Amino acid sequence: ATLADIDRRNGALNAFLAVPHESVLEQARAIDEKRARGESLGALAGVPIGIKDALCTRGLATTAGSKILEGYIPPYDATVVARLRAADAIIVGKTNMDEFAMGSSNENSAYGAVKNPWDPERAPGGSSGGSAAAVAARLVSATLGSDTGGSIRQPAALSGTFGVKPTYGRVSRFGLIAFASSLDQVGPFATDVRGAARVLTTISGKDPKDATSLGAPVEDFEAACGASIKGLRIGVPDEYFAKGLDPEVEASIRAAISELEAEGCVVKPIKLAHTRYAVATYYVIADAEASSNLARFDGVRYGLRVEPPRADVRAMYGATRDAGFGAEVKRRILLGTFVLSAGYYDAYYVKAQKVRTLIRRDFEEAFREVDVICSPTSPTPAFRLGEKVDDPLAMYLNDVYTLPASLAGLPGCSVPAAPTQAGLPVGLQIVAPWLRETTLFSVAAAFE
C-alpha cells in the first residue's frame, strides 16, 4: 500500500528520489517469515521509513542531492540505517534534499525541488525537505533527516511535522555524507511525537565507527512522552522575537507557550545575548568544514567523472567538480576555502570559533534558570518556491532561530503549533540542555 501510494503521489511532490520496489517487498516478506517462525520482532517491525539521501544505503543509490554522486552505490549502510534494519523497519526509499544538505528550501537539489504538501507553490523547507514532505503527505509515518544548522527543525516547521535534532554525538554519523562534521546530526521526522521518540531510541548510542558518538546511556524516549511537565521552567528568549519575525508566526508561538503555561509550566523571559552573531558564525564554520569535507569528490573515487579534452589529472578534477557541483555548493567551497586561507584564518575562522563559545555559554547560563527554551523554529511560514533562490543571504537568514542550538551542540525539536490564517504550518522550537532529549519529548508530547 505504501509503494502504491508513493507511486501515485510522488510525481507531484518529488519527495523521494529512489524507491527500490523489489527490495521493499523482500524486506517485508523477510519480516513476515520471521513472524511466521515465531521469532520476536524489533521495535519498528514492518514500519516503512524513508531515508534522507545523505545517508549511505547498501546497494541503493545515494546522491546527497548532487550530480557529482550520480551513480554512486554505497557498499555499506550508515550505522543509523543498520540500526533501523536491525529493528525490523523497512527502508522504503531515499528522500530528496538540498545538495550536500546546503540550503533551506530544497531548491538546491540537483534533482529538482520538493513541493510543500500544504501548498505546492511553496518550499517544504530544507535541507531535509524530502524527508519532511514525505511525512507531511503521509507517504510514510517516519523518515530520517540530518540537521547541521536546522535542516530537520526548519523543514519540520514549514511542513507541519514533528522533527528532532538530537544532542551532537547522540547519534552516529558513520555513513552520513559529511557537510560540517562538528555540527552534523541525524534525527527523525514522524507523524507523531511518540513515533519519533521510538525511532530516536533505535538509532541512538555509541558507535565504535564514529569517534564523536557519545557513550551516554540511551533512555527510552517514548516513555518520556506523557511525563508530567507541571512546574517545568520554560525560557523565552527576547532575541528570538525581534525584527523579521512574521506577526502570525509570533501569535501562534505565543499561544503555544500559553498552552504550556496552562499545563502548569512556568514561563520566564531569558537573554541569549550573542544570538545576533549566529548566522555569521555558522556560515564561517560550516563552510570551512564543508570545503575540507568536499575535497574528496574529485572524480577519482566516487560517482561522476568528466574527462577533460587532454589527459591531465588536475584538469579532470576541475572538469568533474565544475560539472558535478551546483552553484550553492561552489559558493560554500569558495567561502570556506577563503576563511581557512593563510592571512584570513585568524580574522574569520578563529574568531568564529570564539563566538561559537560565547553562544554556547549563553545557553549554559540560561539553563541555570530554565529547563527548556521555546521559540519560533523559523521566522516565517513556508515561502514560495523561487522567492529566495537568487538571494543567498535572505535564505541564510531563515536559519536565524535554529543555528544557535546547532553551534552549541544542543538537542532541539520542532512541534506543530497553530497554522496561519492561510493554513500554512508554524513550528514551535523547543531546545533542551545537552543530552536532555527526555525533557524535549515530554514537552512536545504535551501538544498531542
Q: Which residues bind ligand GLN (CB under 6 A)?
A: 101-104, 127, 147-151, 179, 286, 399
CB of 171 to ligand GLN, least distance (A): 14
Round to whole Å and give the CA distance between 87 and 326: 36
CB of 101 to ligand GLN, least distance (A): 4
Q: How far is CA 158 from CA 119, 155, 209, 421, in A?
A: 11, 5, 34, 15
Round to whole Å and give the CA distance between 238 and 254: 12
Round to whole Å and give the CA distance between 267 and 372: 10
Which helix (H) or strand (E) segment holds residue 413: the answer is: strand 412-417
CB of 148 to ligand GLN, least distance (A): 3
Which residue, 93 or 150, has its beta carbon nearer to ligand GLN?
150
Angle between helices 193-203 and 79-86 (to 10 degrees): 110
Q: Which of 66, 104, 141, 151 is labelled catalytic?
A: 151
Q: For residue 337, which phi and psi values (nearest 5 degrees)?
A: -65, -40
Which residue, 239 or 399, has its beta carbon nearer to ligand GLN?
399
Q: Which residue in the shown chain puts its C-beta closest to ligand GLN? A: 151
375 has catalytic annotation: no
Q: For residue 51, which phi and psi values (nearest 5 degrees)?
A: -120, 125
Q: How far is CA 208 from CA 46, 81, 170, in A?
A: 28, 15, 13
| Cβ–Cβ under 8 Å, residues 140 and 160 | no
CB of 157 to ligand GLN, least distance (A): 12
User: 248: which residues sit within 8 A by CB, 6+ positions away?
Assistant: 381, 420, 421, 426
52 has catalytic annotation: yes
CB of 286 to ligand GLN, least distance (A): 5
User: 352: which residues sit within 8 A by CB, 6+ positions away?
Assistant: 280, 281, 284, 285, 288, 339
Angle between helices 21-36 and 2-13 (to 10 degrees): 150
User: 304: which residues sit within 8 A by CB, 6+ positions away?
Assistant: 67, 68, 69, 70, 71, 320, 323, 324
Which residue, 270 or 400, has its beta carbon nearer to ligand GLN?
400
Which residue, 101 or 234, has its beta carbon nearer to ligand GLN?
101
| Residue 167 DSSP code | P
CB of 123 to ligand GLN, least distance (A): 12
Q: Which of 66, 109, 127, 159 is labelled catalytic?
A: 127
Single-letter residue type at 278: A
User: 355: which residues sit within 8 A by CB, 6+ positions away?
Assistant: 274, 277, 280, 281
User: 230: which residues sit within 8 A by CB, 6+ positions away?
Assistant: 263, 264, 265
Which residue, 145 or 160, has its beta carbon nearer to ligand GLN?
145
66 has catalytic annotation: no
- Strands 162-165 and 412-417 turn out to be antiparallel
CB of 137 to ligand GLN, least distance (A): 21
CB of 105 to ligand GLN, least distance (A): 9
Which residue, 185 or 213, has its beta carbon nearer to ligand GLN?
185
Cell of 67: 550530480
Supply the residues annotated as catalytic. 52, 127, 151
